[in-house]
Every structure is written in structure tokens, then in C-alpha cells.
Amino acid sequence: MKSDSVVDVQHEPETPDMIARPVPGPPPSPTAAIDAALERLDGLDDVPLPEHVARFDAAHVALTDALSSIDKG
């Protein structure tokens, strides 16, 4: 059965304070995020083996995010 109803969606207009603007200055360096990701792997020898995967996954995600931010700057 075909419906002939039309939904009227109204959007509020964007105001100047709602528009995202770039932060002045150079883009943030991913170095701190990379260092933090690598620090999560410190002491891995003292962590039970089943927890290693979660640590490596978290480091991988953090490194991927940090390294992909380089191209956006």
C-alpha cells in the first residue's frame, strides 16, 4: 500500500555560535596521543595474557586516530 502522506521537517536555522570554526594556530600534534598509546603497553609482562588483546586493541585504535589526524592538519 502506497502512502501519500508527506512529513514536513523543519530545521532551525544555524546561528553564528552554532557553526564550527577551526581553532586558531597550528593543528595539535599527535605526539602526546602516540606516547599515551605506547604507555598503555608498558608493564604488559605483568598483565594476565587474556588482557593483552584488549591492551593491543586500545593501542591500535589510539595510534590509528593519532596518525590519521596528521593528514587532516
Tens of pLDDT, residues 3-62:
555 555 565 555 656 566 666 666 667 888 889 889 989 999 999 999 999 999 999 999
Reading the block at residue 43, the C-alpha cell is 608493564
CB 66 within 8 A of CB 30: yes
Per-residue pLDDT, 31: 86
Count the helix, strand and coil residues of the chain and give each as a percent rounded to the nearest 5.
Answer: 50, 0, 50
pTM of the model: 0.55
Task: Write phi, then psi, for 50 (nearest 5 degrees).
Answer: -60, -20
Question: How far, in Å, CA of 36 to CA of 47, rounded?
Answer: 18
Residue 66 above 90 pLDDT? Answer: no
Residue with cell 590519521: 68
